[in-house]
Amino acid sequence: MCLASIFGLFIGLILGLTGAGGGILAVPALVLGLGWTMTQAAPVALMAVGASAAVGAIDGLRKGLVRYRAALLMAVLGGAGTPLGLYVAHRLPQTLLMSLFSLVLVLVAIRMHRQSRGAVGAGAEHDWERKNCMLDPGTGRLRWTLRCSLTLATVGACCGLLTGLLGVGGGFLLVPAFRQLTDIRLHGIVATSLMVIALVSAMAIFGALRAGIVIPATGVAFIGASVLGMVAGRLWAPHVPARGLQEGFAGLCVAVAGYLLWKVWG
């Protein structure tokens, strides 16, 4: 239980420092650190990520940063995609699931590395003509066009599918999608993404519990520690250089992906 708490604290800390996306390491922490299978780890990882994201989302709501209408739309579609992901996950072999997870980790690492070099989002703040969702300069709210609604719905559904399939929160998908497809500022993007993660994770957890999934005591310790880590990470984040954090996170993702693949196929 002590080891589970240490891993949970570490995952929560990364989630708090990166804003969204760090929760993707929750499943590897449980699989590699505690020896669980992917299907055992996914519900506990979702609870940890969802609870931690809820802490960040509440803070974002308090500061008025969350685009709650967009978050609710994406969460509803995400909730619809999650059961399909769960259905597929329980019918795929563990080797394939872990290989898919490793691929996602590598993609996240590449994105983080490019972002640290300024390749991701460079000039995005001024390239508004290509954005699918635009803010109204007068009200500061999103313009709810058909194009915007379909864009957010599609992203939400993809997030839900990955949540059910791999037990990840989806922040690694939401943040870059928001940056590419909307002109919402970064603080609003992170806060809105955390709310989507919290809501989609909650729906996935509810489905898993209804299916008879039982959370062991070590899982409860992991979840509680991750929430504490999230709080600490958000307090510490303003004092950590963004580029070093992104490079370090990218390197960690590659290392974990390599170890997962070695364990599966080695």
Residue 130: what pLDDT?
60
pTM over 0.85? The answer is no
Residue 169: what pLDDT?
64
Q: Which regions of the chain are under pLDDT 70?
A: 19-23, 116, 118-130, 169, 242, 266
119-159 pLDDT, tens per residue? 444 444 444 446 788 888 888 888 899 999 999 999 999 88
Question: How is the chain split into domains, by residue range?
Answer: 2-265
**DSSP assignment of 147-163:** HHHHHHHHHHHHHHHHH
169's torsion region: left (phi>0), alpha (psi -120 to 50) or beta? alpha
Residue 23: what pLDDT?
66
Q: Which two tokens stand for residue 65?
A: 């940063």
Residue 70: what pLDDT?
92
Measured in Å, how far apart are the chain's first and last C-alpha atoms? 29
Residue 135 is classified by DSSP as B
Residue 149: what pLDDT?
92
The Cα–Cα gap between 70 and 187 comes to: 15
User: Contacts for 122-126 with beta carbons within 8 Å, 24 or more apart?
Assistant: 124/179, 124/180, 125/183
